[in-house]
Chain A
Amino acid sequence: MFALLGIAVGCAAVTALLNIGHSAANEATDTFKRLGTNTLVVSFSPLSGSVGPSAVAPDWKALTVELTEIEYVAPVVMHSARIRHAGRDTDVSIVGTTQDLAPVMGLRADRGHLLSDFDRCSTYVVVGAGVARGLALELGSRLQVAGYLLEVIGILANQPFNPLLPVDVDESVFLPIEGIRRMRPAPGIGNVIVQAHDTADLAQTASTLKRYLDHASRGYQVDVQVPRQLLEALSRQANTFAYLLAGVGGIALLVGGVGVMNVMLMGVRERRREIGVRMALGARASDIRNLFLAEAAGLCLSGSTLGAIGGLLFA
Chain B
Amino acid sequence: MAGISEGLILIELDRVCQSYYRNGIQQQILQEVSLSVARGESCAIVGSSGSGKSTLLNILGLLDRPLSGRFLLDGVDISHSTADACADLRNRLIGFVFQGFNLLPRLSVLDNVALPLLYRGCPRVEARQRAICQLERIGLAERFAYRPTELSGGQCQRVAIARALVGEPALILADEPTGNLDNTTAQDIMDLLLQLNECDGVTLVMVTHDKGLASQLGRQLLVRDGRVVELELCRQGATSNA
Q: How many residues of A contact B (CB 8 A)?
A: 14
A301 CA / B88 CA spacing, docked (Å): 32
**Residue in contact with B61 in the complex, picked from A273, A280, A284, CB distance below 8 Å:** A280
**Residue in contact with B90 in the complex, picked from A273, A274, A280, A286, CB distance below 8 Å:** A280
The answer on a CB contact under 8 Å between B84 and A285 is yes
A279 CA / B90 CA spacing, docked (Å): 9
**Residue in contact with A282 in the complex, picked from B98, B102, B104, B116, CB distance below 8 Å:** B116
- Contact partners of A277 in chain B: CB under 8 A: 98, 102, 104
Q: Is the interface on chain B under 10, 10 to 19, 20 to 34, or 35 or more residues?
A: 20 to 34
The answer on a CB contact under 8 Å between B91 and A282 is yes
The answer on a CB contact under 8 Å between B84 and A281 is no
The answer on a CB contact under 8 Å between A279 and B163 is no
The answer on a CB contact under 8 Å between B63 and A281 is no
The answer on a CB contact under 8 Å between B84 and A282 is no
Residues in A261-300 with C-beta less than 8 Å from chain B: 273-274, 276-287
Smallest distance from the beta carbon of B78 to chain A beta carbons, Å? 14
- Contact partners of A276 in chain B: CB under 8 A: 63, 102
- Contact partners of B61 in chain A: CB under 8 A: 280
Q: Does B167 touch A at the CB level, under 8 Å?
A: yes
Smallest distance from the beta carbon of A275 to chain B beta carbons, Å? 11
Q: Does B15 touch A at the CB level, under 8 Å?
A: no
A282 CA / B173 CA spacing, docked (Å): 14
In the complex, the chain A residue whose C-beta lies closest to that of B164 is A281
The answer on a CB contact under 8 Å between B167 and A284 is no
Residues in B22-63 with C-beta less than 8 Å from chain A: 61, 63
In the complex, the chain B residue whose C-beta lies closest to that of A283 is B119
A277 CA / B95 CA spacing, docked (Å): 11
Q: Does B235 touch A at the CB level, under 8 Å?
A: no
The answer on a CB contact under 8 Å between A282 and B63 is no
Q: Does B127 touch A at the CB level, under 8 Å?
A: no
A271 CA / B92 CA spacing, docked (Å): 24
The answer on a CB contact under 8 Å between B104 and A284 is no
Q: Does B192 touch A at the CB level, under 8 Å?
A: no
The answer on a CB contact under 8 Å between A282 and B163 is no
Q: Does B71 touch A at the CB level, under 8 Å?
A: no
Smallest distance from the beta carbon of B147 to chain A beta carbons, Å? 14
The answer on a CB contact under 8 Å between A281 and B116 is yes
**Residue in contact with A273 in the complex, picked from B94, B102, B116, B120, CB distance below 8 Å:** B102
The answer on a CB contact under 8 Å between A279 and B167 is no
- Contact partners of B222 in chain A: CB under 8 A: none
A284 CA / B88 CA spacing, docked (Å): 8
Of the listed residues A279, A280, A285, the one surrounded by the most CB atoms of chain B closer than 10 A to its CB is A280
Residues in B143-201 with C-beta less than 8 Å from chain A: 163, 167
- Contact partners of B104 in chain A: CB under 8 A: 274, 277-278
A282 CA / B102 CA spacing, docked (Å): 14
A287 CA / B91 CA spacing, docked (Å): 13
The answer on a CB contact under 8 Å between B84 and A280 is no
B111-130 interface bits toward A, Cβ cutoff 8 Å, 1 = contact, 0 = none = 00001100110000000000
The answer on a CB contact under 8 Å between A282 and B83 is no
Q: Does B141 touch A at the CB level, under 8 Å?
A: no
- Contact partners of B116 in chain A: CB under 8 A: 281-282
Of the listed residues B87, B90, B102, B163, the one surrounded by the most CB atoms of chain A closer than 10 A to its CB is B87
Having A280-B102, A281-B163, A284-B83, one finds 9 other A-B pairs with CB under 8 Å, namely: A276-B102, A277-B104, A278-B119, A280-B96, A281-B91, A281-B119, A282-B88, A284-B119, A287-B87
Name the 3 nearest CB pairs between A and B, nearest first. A282-B91, A284-B87, A277-B102
> What is the interface of chain B, defined by CB distance below 8 A to chain A?
61, 63, 83-84, 87-88, 90-92, 94, 96, 98, 102, 104, 115-116, 119-120, 163, 167
